[in-house]
Amino acid sequence: MKKTFYITTPIYYPSGKLHIGNSYTTVLCDTVNRYKGLRGYDTRYLTGMDEHGQKVETVANELGKTPIEHVNDIADDTKNMWKTLDIKYDDFIRTTEKRHKTVVKKVFEQLLEQGDIYLGEYEGYYCMPCESFFTETQLEEGNTCPDCGRETQLVKEESYFLKLSKYEDRLLKFIEENPEFITPEKRKNEVVSFIKQGLFDLSVSRTSFDWGVKVVSNPAHVVYVWIDALSNYISALGYGSSDDSLFEKYWKGNEVVHVVGKDILRFHAIYWPIMLMALDIPISFKLYAHGWYMMKDGKMSKSTGKVVYPEPLIEKYGLDPLRYFLLKELPYSGDGVFTPEDFIARINFDLANDFGNLLNRTINMINKYFDSKVYRPKKSYFDFDKQLIDLVSETVENYTTDMDKLNVSKAIHDIWTLISRTNKYIDETKPWVLAKDDLSKKELNSILYNLVESLRHIGILLSPILINSSKQLFDQLNIPLDLQTWDSLKWGEIVNIEVTDKPAPIFPRLDKKVEEEYIQNLLSIKEEEQAPENLIGIEDFLKVELVVGEILESNPHPDADNLLVSLINTGDKVRQIVSGISKHYTTEELVGKKVIVVKNLKPAKLRGVMSEGMILAGKNKKNIEVLEVTKLKVGDKVS
């Protein structure tokens, strides 16, 4: 029976177009999955989308779509992009699918029944204008907001919590006993020292938005982000359903690998194994957390426009150059940088000069000297032969070790060492000199045969990485299918070969200046589109829903001198709103005023009293004045 291999990417947020950062993870998994397939494993590759949460709800509203319409559109775009990158996934899970939600509900209820999830109170300091929660230690002097300097309010909100603390010791022991559980080593060390500082229980539900999986036993709560998202790795295998054969086969099979970026290391190295321990599911996976692709001037980010998208690069240069760049330029345990100069240099030097040229030269010589045909020599004629043949088998060994560790960048380095050695072999044996001498035909044949054998090995090792050009290599050399397999990685398998008589360069050399400029333009369009930091786009402003509301009643806050608690009719309902205006208005003065209310502010308790919105007011050092309208009616929109 074949050994099984199950590999997963993170499920991506539908927060915008995916860029080369997300593409890197997906291409890396695709490459490793193809490699395992080449090795004869029974493989399964999962990717997908993480489609719940308040942000999705808000963006969909802005676009005038329902949340499900919005995520359907993004899922379609994402699948198209993976098609462009020739990603061969087996399953695409979406957290809005029934098969997934059923598992999340089940997992949550089980953890609740067992007491691993409990209902508690989330406590934090809330800055209303910033819509952010802070712990006491994050606050500035006088309990003010560290971002805007304004006063914060102590807020308590009901929330479910996952008992992380209970599993702290077990998790540390597990990591110690499974030294390869988290790689690279440096990430493992980060995780261990984080756990050793002590784990706080994790808030796993929200009551302030709707777009998510409702808690079955208490539907006022929506399961919050991570329990929902992490469960995808098993819900996609049918865990807990009437047909869990994929779960039995792959999760409990030979190898399971989660590949993630370093940004979500903790969730996968701490929360997920703890969830599995609590559910009594084996922690069968290994975790590889890679670094980030950066821009020359910092982090790649959709919101600042410093971002590179894969499609225009593929359209202009083809798929393999992008796959090559992505896989090569991100080191195993560090970050990588995308620059137009490096991208073009990799195409010109590595792909066109070193690799493409080797293939092209070899075929041209076989055509010129032997009418397209070479055969297996009976013996070796040069000392250089042994060096080349030894390096081929050494390369296969190193490549295997590196690919098994998911160190694809190093595996590429191994292949290029062989490519350079093979180029050097041509310089050493000088076929053009032997060609002048009719008595040296056998020697000349042996040189060209050795070049073809080396290239065949290179093609097989490259096939999970450069998917189109490795095929072109096999086509141009006319390598039969049975000599393109992992098992055929043995020197001398070719007996006779007739190469194409019409070779075409697989990577034409590019004009450095023109192409660098072309890519720079792609990037600077993004920068120009970008507003300066302190400006917001209309789409940001439109997120705030403002309406006219009439104050029906106003009372002092029971626990805070500067706060008033008002009942305000906003047309859709009567809301209770707490505001810090008691030093400037009496309760009687406020009644009957038509004011402007922020309608879609998250409800929050301010000093123990629930507030469902905010009244707009202007202020200077002396005064606070609420904004009033006269002609407009209750419920009218303000924009």
The residues binding ligand ME8 (CB under 6 A) are 10-13, 21-22, 24-25, 50, 229-230, 232, 260-261, 263-264, 292-293, 300
DSSP string, 291-334: --EEETTEE-BTTTTB---HHHHHHHH-HHHHHHHHHHHS-TTS
CA angle 260, 263, 267 (to 5 degrees): 70
d(CA 247, CA 4): 12
Min. distance of Cβ 9 from ligand ME8 in angstroms? 7
Residue among 219 and 298 whose Cβ is closer to ligand ME8: 298
Asked if 70 and 212 touch (Cβ cutoff 8 Å), the reply is no
Q: How far is the CB of 519 from ligand ME8 (least distance, A)?
A: 17
Task: Tell me whether residue 338 or residue 425 sits nearer to ligand ME8 (CB atom).
Answer: 338
Q: Taking a C-beta distance cutoff of 8 angstroms, is the pair 325, 346 a contact?
A: yes
* Other beta carbons less than 10 A from residue 297's beta carbon: 8
Helices and strands counted in the chain (H then E): 23, 27
The residue (of 30 and 50) whose beta carbon lies closer to ligand ME8 is: 50
Quote the least distance from Cβ 376 to ligand ME8, whole Å: 45
Question: Which pair of structure tokens corresponds to residue 489?
Answer: 């990685």
Minimum distance of ligand ME8 from residue 283's CB (angstroms): 15
Nearer to ligand ME8, 275 or 455 (CB): 275
| E strands present in 31-108 | 42-49, 91-94
CB of 285 to ligand ME8, least distance (A): 12
Least separation in angstroms between residue 25's CB and ligand ME8 is: 4
Nearer to ligand ME8, 12 or 325 (CB): 12
User: C-beta of 48: minimal distance to ligand ME8 in Å?
Assistant: 9
Output DSSP code: residue 377. Answer: -
CB nearer to ligand ME8: give 234 or 560: 234
Residue 209 class from Cβ within 10 Å (0-12 exposed, 13-18 middle, 19+ buried)? middle
Count Cβ atoms below 10 Å from residue 116 Cβ, excluding itself: 20
d(CA 200, CA 163): 8
Q: Which residue is nearest to ligand ME8 (CB)?
A: 21
Least distance CB 303 / ligand ME8 (angstroms): 12
Judged by CB, which is closer to ligand ME8: 338, or 507? Answer: 338
Phi, psi torsion values for 88, nearest 5 degrees:
-100, 70
C-beta of 11 vs 477, nearer to ligand ME8:
11
CB of 14 to ligand ME8, least distance (A): 8
User: Could you tell me the CA-to-CA distances from 523 to 248, 305, 307, 499 in Å, in that order?
Assistant: 46, 9, 7, 42
Is cis: bond before 331, omega within 30 of 0?
no
* Site of tokens 């426009």: 305
Please identify, using beta-carbon distances, which residue of 183 and 422 lies nearer to ligand ME8.
Answer: 183
Give dist(CA 127, CA 135) in Å, integer.
11
Residue 116 DSSP class: S
Q: Which residue lies nearer to ligand ME8 by CB, 47 or 423? A: 47
392-404 exposure pattern, b = at least 16 Cβ within 10 A, e = fewer: beebbebbbebbe
Pairing type for strands 285-290 and 496-498 reads unpaired
Beta bridge partners of 336: 293
Name the token pair of 518: 């072309």
Nearer to ligand ME8, 22 or 470 (CB): 22
Q: Which two tokens stand for residue 285?
A: 């996976």
Distance of CA 636 to the CA centre of its chain: 42
The token duo for 427 is 């310089």
CB of 53 to ligand ME8, least distance (A): 9
Closer Cβ to ligand ME8, 25 or 429, answer by number: 25
Total Cβ atoms within 10 A of residue 205: 26
Closest CB to ligand ME8 among 106 and 584?
Answer: 106
Q: How far is the CB of 544 from ligand ME8 (least distance, A)?
A: 24
Of residues 88, 100, 73, the one with CA closest to residue 26: 88
Let me know: does 338 contact 308? Beta carbons within 8 Å.
Answer: yes
State in angstroms the smallest separation of the CB of 302 from ligand ME8: 9
Q: Could you tell me the smallest distance in angstroms from the CB atom of residue 133 to ligand ME8?
A: 20
- Taking the least distance from each CB to ligand ME8, the nearer of 155 and 300 is 300
Q: Using alpha carbons only, how large is the chain's radius of gyration in Å?
A: 31
Q: What share of the chain is helix, strand, coil (3-state, %, to 5)?
A: 45, 20, 35
Q: How far is the CB of 263 from ligand ME8 (least distance, A)?
A: 5
